[in-house]
């Protein structure tokens, strides 16, 4: 799933024929045609911005993106700049033997004993370009969820509050389904008389 797919679906949902008819969704790779359309079409740029906002919201509040990284601590600290991705929350830190290690998060670094560790953490995704893939591979997040959220943000920015509320409801309902646990309900066996 790419930003292009989300922008295309949001354009269809919002019935933005001026964006759909530009031909930008027919392009399969980053080229001059797409860049010129993006530079000249304010609504398309706004859709891409709204899609990036929704992606960050989903990653931070609903479907966390998990990343594991090997990091070495020296002087009893791991600076936040040592993380490959923009850190949101540390889930666990394990030493070379696979044992959990205690740590403290401070404003500018993680306080921990010296050594090499595997850090498991959630992160905030960076802004994506038109042809960039999203980081939600392997999750229940579909392009429709992001398109609903993008449509809601777009309508809100443009002052269409009633339409924004409708898309927001669909967005929240789709997120509820995507984040629901799939558990099987087993009832006790009973005898029928």
> What are the structure tokens assigned to 121, written together?
């953490």
On the question of pLDDT at 184 being above 80, the answer is: no
What mean pLDDT do residues 90-113 have?
91
CA distance 5 to 144: 9
Q: Which two tokens stand for residue 184?
A: 């099987």
Say which residue, 3 or 35, is predicted with more confidence: 3
Strands 86-94, 104-105: parallel, antiparallel or unpaired by DSSP? unpaired
CA-based nearest residue to 91, from 63, 117, 122 = 122
In this structure, what token pair is assigned to residue 37?
A: 């359309």
Q: State residue 38's pLDDT score.
A: 78
pLDDT at 12 over 80: yes
Q: What is the pLDDT of residues 122-176, one digit of tens each?
A: 999 999 988 888 888 877 888 899 999 999 999 999 999 999 999 999 999 999 9
pTM passes above 0.75: yes
Q: Tell me the pLDDT tens digit for each residue of 35-75.
A: 777 778 888 889 999 999 999 999 999 999 999 999 998 88
pLDDT tens column, 24-35 = 777 666 677 777
Mean pLDDT score across all residues of the chain: 88
pLDDT on residue 84: 92
How confident is the model at residue 122, as a pLDDT?
94
Contact 155, 167 (CB under 8 A): yes
Residues comprising the chain, all counted: 193
Q: Where are the domains of the chain?
A: 3-61+136-179, 65-124
Whether residue 151 contacts residue 10, with contact meaning beta carbons closer than 8 Å, is answered with: yes
The pLDDT, as a whole number, for residue 34 is 76
pLDDT for the residue numbered 181 = 75
Instruction: Calculate the CA 189 to chain-centre distance.
Output: 43
């Amino acid at each position: 799933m790419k930003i292009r797919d989300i922008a295309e679906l949001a354009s269809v949902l919002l019935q933005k024929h001026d964006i759909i008819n530009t031909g930008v969704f027919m392009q399969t790779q980053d080229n001059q045609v797409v860049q010129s359309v993006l530079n000249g079409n304010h609504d398309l740029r706004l859709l891409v911005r709204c899609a990036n906002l929704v992606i960050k919201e989903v990653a931070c509040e609903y479907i966390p993106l998990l990343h594991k990284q090997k990091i070495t601590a020296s002087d009893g600290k791991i600076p936040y700049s040592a993380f490959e991705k923009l850190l949101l929350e540390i889930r666990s830190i394990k030493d070379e033997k696979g044992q959990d290690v205690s740590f403290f998060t401070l404003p500018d670094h993680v306080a921990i004993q010296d050594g090499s560790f595997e850090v498991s953490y959630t992160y905030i995704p960076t802004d994506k370009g038109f042809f960039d893939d999203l980081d939600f591979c392997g999750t229940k997040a579909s392009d429709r969820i992001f398109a609903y959220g993008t449509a809601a943000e777009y309508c809100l920015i443009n002052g269409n509050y009633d339409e924004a509320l409708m898309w927001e409801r669909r967005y929240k309902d789709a997120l509820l389904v995507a984040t629901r646990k799939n558990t099987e309900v087993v009832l006790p066996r009973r005898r029928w008389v």
